[in-house]
């Protein structure tokens, strides 16, 4: 998780695969629950993962659901990240 870009909004803890504004929304996020527990949702607002008793448990649930190939946060915007990933895929397909 350390290589990802953490950000908060509306009391939620999110992680992004890029550092530039708007960030990515392809990683689950953690919400505090009254009483000191946590709820893991996402990556979309309509998706739920489930309850977590501790912060460590919540983060473990997020880690289990990281997107394939998730690596260090890309320095740039989501659009720049997508272009970088497309170039990387193309180079891989061409063998170089």
Contact 20, 89 (CB under 8 A): no
CB atoms within 10 A of CB 1: 12
* pLDDT exceeds cutoff 70 at 11: yes
Torsion of CA 11, 29, 61, 65, to 10 degrees: 180
Q: Tens of pLDDT along 33-86?
A: 999 999 999 999 999 999 999 999 999 999 999 988 888 899 999 999 999 989
Which one, of 21, 19, 8, 18, lies nearest residue 67 by Cα?
18
Place of tokens 């309850």: 51
Which one, of 64, 53, 45, 49, lies nearest residue 1 by Cα?
64
pTM of the model: 0.85
The rounded distance, in Å, linking the Cα atoms of 8 and 40 is: 14
């Amino acid at each position: 998780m350390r290589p990802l870009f953490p950000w908060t909004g509306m009391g939620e803890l999110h992680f992004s695969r890029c550092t530039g504004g708007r960030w990515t929304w392809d990683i689950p996020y953690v919400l505090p629950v009254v009483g000191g527990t946590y709820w893991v949702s996402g990556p979309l607002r309509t998706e739920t993962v489930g309850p977590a008793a501790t912060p460590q448990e919540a983060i473990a649930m997020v880690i289990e659901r990281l997107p394939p190939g998730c690596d260090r946060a890309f320095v740039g915007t989501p659009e720049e990240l997508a272009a970088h990933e497309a170039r990387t895929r193309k180079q891989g397909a061409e063998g170089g």
